[in-house]
Structure 1
Amino acid sequence: MGTREPGEVFGPRMTLFADMLSVGLATAVACLPLVTAPAALSTACAVLRGAGEGRPATAGQYFALLRRRLRAGDLVAGVVALAGVLLFAADLALAGAGLPGAPLFAVTAAAIGAGATVVGLRACARPEALTDWTAAVRGAARDAVRDVGGDGLVLLAVATAASCAWMLLPLAFLAPGPLALALTAVDVRRTVGADRQPG
């Protein structure tokens, strides 16, 4: 457990909490164009991962990293994610319209949507997302198959963030911070588990 520096008001854990909220607010602002959401969230995960390695986790550090890494691939990832969300919403709307087989269709669409959400969010947490989305998605898909417990944690983090935003709208601007921290923790947990495996 870390100790306080002279003159430090809060301990290191409270400092991480404050940094997480500031990064979350910066992420919410960066997500406003919608197509930048994957890049914004993966940058937040990278900054919060750096906090565990002794690097600063501030909004300034976040925007500096986001400016350096924004590229065409990030915008393509954003367009694909946005198209997926719109398609999922349209499918659920069709299922709710009372078409034949709608209940089974709704369950199937929900399962596919949950799987795609898990893979997409796990991809954002992987370090490869900073440079190569294809590698990040491939790795996240493998993780989703091998680590079902981690998938559950990701879905729980999403549900918690959505519930907080639904209960109190201003919390929606802070929700990306805890979500990014949870995604990063799940990815670090995967990495530590892989390192501990024999052979």
Structure 2
Amino acid sequence: MSAMRSAREPGEVFGPRMTLFADTLSVGLATTVACLPLLTAPAALSTACAVLRGAGEDRPATAGQYFALLRRRMRTGDLAAGLVALAGVLLFAADLALARVGLPGAPAFATSAAAIGAAATVVALRACARPESLTDWPTALRAAARDAVHDTGGSALVLLAVATAALCAWMLIPLAFLAPGPLALALTAVDIRSGARA
């Protein structure tokens, strides 16, 4: 994203960085709308990452561009990825609910379930940021798992971005509708950083 122009255009009030911020928020709102059916969440976040990645290459990063790309890419694989993600979230919630009941070994189980859930979240989110996710989810997941292991700093940044988005949404509910945009921007930046390091 460092390739972005740094000078203001004539008549431009805020400059390119503020424009990127505004585009990120509009893409975030579009992503929230696209995630409402739940099964479309992975494709929606992946599309947001692709659109924001294009901003660094001087392509438009608008909600219109977002919906145009999302319409072109919705396919069976994207819905299958959404189904797997939804099943994983429900399984994780059920496991934590069982741990709260007071079964023997519940604290150790809850700790291990939280660690597995965090690792799965990092891999899933890093897969959404990969360019391969636009066409091939299995390849994106394999590359994201490799990145998660070899780039632990990037994985920590992903968890920090998720925690920040959740905290912002918890503190001020309307921010929940905008949070996917900054989250997608953070995921894209981590992926670009990981690629630059490699």
User: What's 1:114 paired with?
Assistant: 118
Q: Which runs of 4+ in 1 moved over 2 A?
A: none
TM-score, normalised to structure 1, is 0.97
State the one-letter code of the partner of 2:195: T
Moved more, 1-10 or 167-176: 1-10
Q: Distance in 1 between matches of 2:90 and 2:167?
A: 21
Whether 1:42 and 2:63 are equivalent positions in the alignment is no
Once residues 7 and 49 of structure 1 are traced to their aligned partners in structure 2, the CA distance between those partners, rounded to angstroms, is 25
Q: Letter of the aligned partner of 1:122 in structure 2?
A: R
Residues 1:153 and 2:150 aligned together: no
Question: Which residue number in structure 2 is paired with residue 30 of structure 1?
Answer: 34
- The answer on 1:138 being equivalent to 2:142 is yes
Cα offset, 1:53, TM superposition: 0.6
The C-alpha deviation readout for 1:140-193, integer Å capped at 9, x for no partner, is 000011000001000000000000011111110000000000000000001111
Separation of aligned partners in 1, 2:101 and 2:155: 31
Pick from 79, 84, 87 the counterpart of residue 88 of structure 2: 84
Residue number in structure 2 paired with 1:66: 70
From 18, 21, 38, the equivalent of 2:22 is 18
Structure 2: runs of 5 or more not aligned: none
CA distance in 1, matches of 2:12, 2:51: 22
Q: Partner residue of 2:177?
A: 173
RMSD: 0.6
Q: What one-letter code is carried by the residue in structure 2 that aligns with 1:87? A: L
Q: Given the alignment of the two structures, is residue 6 of structure 1 paired with residue 10 of structure 2, yes or no?
A: yes
Q: Which sections of structure 1, spanning at least 5 residues, go unmatched?
A: 195-199
The equivalent residue for 1:97 is 101
Q: What is residue 129 of structure 1 aligned with on the other side?
A: 133
Could you say which residue in structure 2 is the equivalent of 1:56? 60
SS at match of 1:77: helix
In structure 2, distance between residues paired with 1:4 and 1:138: 40
3-state SS in 2 of match to 1:129: helix
Return the TM-score normalized by structure 2. Answer: 0.97
Task: Determine the C-alpha separation between the residues in 2 that align with 1:161 and 1:112.
Answer: 20
**Counterpart residue type for residue 38 of structure 1:** P
Count of residue correspondences: 194
Task: Using the TM superposition, give the Cα deviation of residue 10 of structure 1 relative to its aligned residue in structure 2, in angstroms.
Answer: 1.3
Cα drift, residue 9 of structure 1: 1.3
Q: Which amino acid aligns with 2:53?
A: R
Q: Percent identity?
A: 82
Residue deviations 1:121-146, cap 9 Å, x none?
00000000000000000000000110
